[in-house]
Structure 1
Amino acid sequence: MKRKFYWWLGLILVVIIAVGGYFSLQNYQQNKVQTIEKVKVNNKVTPTFFFHGWGSSYHAEEKMTAAIRQAGVSNTVVRVNVSKNGHAKLLGKISKRAKNPLIEVNFADNKLTNAKGSYTNAYYTTGARYVRNAINVVNKKYGYRSINVVSHSMGNLEFTNYLRRFHNQKDFPRINHWVSMAGHYDGIVGEDDEPNVTKINSKTGKPSRMQPEYRALLSLRKTFPRETRILNIYGNLENGTNSDGDVTNASARSLKYLINGRAKSYRELMIRGRGGQHSALHNNAKVNRALVNFIWR
């Protein structure tokens, strides 16, 4: 009996160790920087701004900027903190020898709770102002006139409303490249969108139905910067929802209609499987590689 007891006890311990090791490996894989091969790029000095999503922070941008830096694209990463009253403060310095500086933007009001009314209004009145202040605090200090942008989730709505609201201002920069990730332009799953309901016209990108936040952006069809190249990245869990768990592919792809005939170029990239989950997109080797190839090569 004792021998049998110890045999079962040993088996249970082996199973526990194996399961624990598996989950530890999974956790390590999710949290390590998803590095990519080194690349050769031109020594440019155009800054790239990173805007995070709802309830998030600059920490969501750190693995992307680390992977880009390790690939040899940039040698400088700084941060801009934007307070709840909209005050932007630059942390760090960009030297004269800086190559492709990366700007991690952190919004203290990361749920736009300081704004009144609906989110449609909040994106325009508050989110757009946060974006403008973050860009201006860097551009005014270093004299930049051109920028690149990488935005994730709600950061896309804040950025597009920045384009909508401030496109005709004197301090509005030239936007060379914009990478949109998991943009919920025409609704969010569980709130005002559902999987496999909205259809997208393959030629124009026009959605079969339009939510209020999307209708508010229709003016971009006449004002979107013509010099901007766009890469639209979205995830598909391949579980039948055609979504990343939070944003349907249709909602993300509806961006095309807003810029169709205006942007200098537009392309899409679908990330399939577990790596295409909404929050996993900003720590994904395929995404990092796409960022580098699109913006700097």
Structure 2
Amino acid sequence: MKKTFFFSFLILVLSLVSVGCGNEKTAGTVKESDPTSESKSNSPSEPSTSSSGVTDPLTTNQTTIPTLFIHGYGGTEGSFSGMLSRFETSGWGKKRLTVTVQPDGSVLDTGTWDDQSDNPMIQVLFADNKNNEWNQADWIKAVLVYLKQTYQIEEVNLVGHSMGGVSSFRYLVTYGNDDSLPVVNKFVAIGAPFNDFVTGNEEQSFDALIQDGPLVISQRYSDFAAGIQQYPKETPLLNIVGYVQDGSDGDGTVSLRSGLSIGHLMQINEMNYSEEIVTGSQASHSQLHENSQVDKAVADFLWGTP
């Protein structure tokens, strides 16, 4: 994986055709089908624009490292089923397991694990799918402990949509340096509100956001700032955010500034961070995991040829 440190904002100028997507909701964190509490005013300084085509074929490396896909608040098996199916059709990966975590942290799985070099994919489901991010971080840990004990898995990737991205980051800043757990090789956050839904940052420029951090900080962001040294420096983060460009600030639920705020913490701590802003009607919050540009960005980041 080529380690690149860049914090320029990439806005894609190609509009994507809208397709349907199942709704997920987040309790007090990310309510994917509810309006955001943030201002819908246009930003005073838009992120810089660059083009990125989606038509070039992608050839992926094939590894034995499993990738865990973690849904958002209220999510179900349908949340990532479309993406996983498209990845299989494209030959980018093979779904091997569905792992369900109960509220008490017990784990059950269905499927067959055979340690093949086919970019194995594991779908993670929370039986209590409307619980908080602290418990979800512990449940992610429980999944990793289970995978190590049951299948001797020592390394994983994480892909989290919405609150699944928030909970994955909370896991990394809580348990990221625990040598007894599998190493997180790469992490992708999709539509994650890292600074929650606080107001007061609507007029801050994006340059100032990255250089100084958000003007108004949520308790979540404060926790992340306090724990950022626990984030494993060898784990690159790809942060994908949506921008529907319909007058709202972001993907219709999560604002650009909340989604992109984590870049400041990653930058000042010299961690491997990149971001991509996906635009168009299919960049709405609940459609990001149904977006072909997101598919390609995730697969290229996880398995693309360096």
- Could you state the TM-score of these two structures normalised by the residue count of structure 1? 0.78
2:7 maps to which residue? none
The letter for the 2-side match of 1:146 is E
1:101 maps to which residue? 120
- Find out whether 1:213 has 2:220 as its counterpart: yes
Residue in structure 2 matching 1:227, options 211, 231, 234? 234
Alpha carbons 1:38, 1:70 under 8 Å: kept: no
Shift of 1:30: 2.4
Higher relative contact order (CA 8 A, sep 6+): 2
2:73 maps to which residue? 54
Taking the TM superposition and a 5 Å limit, the aligned residue runs for 1:235-250 are: 235-250=242-257
- Could you state the TM-score of these two structures normalised by the residue count of structure 2? 0.76
Please give the alpha-carbon distance, in whole angstroms, between the structure 2 residues aligned to 1:165 and 1:224. Answer: 8
Which of the two has higher C-alpha Rg?
Answer: 1
The secondary structure found in structure 2 opposite 1:67 is helix
1:185 maps to which residue? 194
1:84 maps to which residue? 103
Residue in structure 2 matching 1:196, options 186, 197, 202? 202
Q: Specify whether residues 80 and 37 from structure 1 end up closer, same or farther in structure 2 by C-alpha distance, changes over 3 A only.
A: farther
When the two structures are aligned, how many residues end up with a matched partner?
256
Please give the alpha-carbon distance, in whole angstroms, between the structure 1 residues aligned to 2:79 and 2:215. Answer: 32
- Find out whether 1:288 has 2:295 as its counterpart: yes
2:161 maps to which residue? 152
Alpha carbons 1:177, 1:230 under 8 Å: kept: yes
Please give the alpha-carbon distance, in whole angstroms, between the structure 2 residues aligned to 1:110 and 1:36. Answer: 35
The secondary structure found in structure 2 opposite 1:227 is coil
Shift of 1:41: 2.5
2:149 maps to which residue? 140
The letter for the 2-side match of 1:232 is N
Please give the alpha-carbon distance, in whole angstroms, between the structure 2 residues aligned to 1:237 and 1:175. Answer: 31
The secondary structure found in structure 2 opposite 1:218 is helix
2:31 maps to which residue? none
The letter for the 1-side match of 2:20 is Q
For structure 1, which runs of at least 5 residues remain unmatched after alignment? 1-25, 113-121
Q: Specify whether residues 205 and 58 from structure 1 end up closer, same or farther in structure 2 by C-alpha distance, changes over 3 A only.
A: farther
Does 242-251 or 217-226 show the bigger shift?
Answer: 217-226
The secondary structure found in structure 1 opposite 2:129 is coil
Q: Specify whether residues 217 and 225 from structure 1 end up closer, same or farther in structure 2 by C-alpha distance, changes over 3 A only.
A: same
- Find out whether 1:123 has 2:133 as its counterpart: yes
Alpha carbons 1:43, 1:99 under 8 Å: kept: yes
The secondary structure found in structure 1 opposite 2:213 is coil
Render the CA deviation track for 1:86-138: whole Å, top value 9, x for unaligned: 211121111143511101011111111xxxxxxxxx423x1211111122222
Please give the alpha-carbon distance, in whole angstroms, between the structure 1 residues aligned to 2:230 and 2:216. Answer: 22
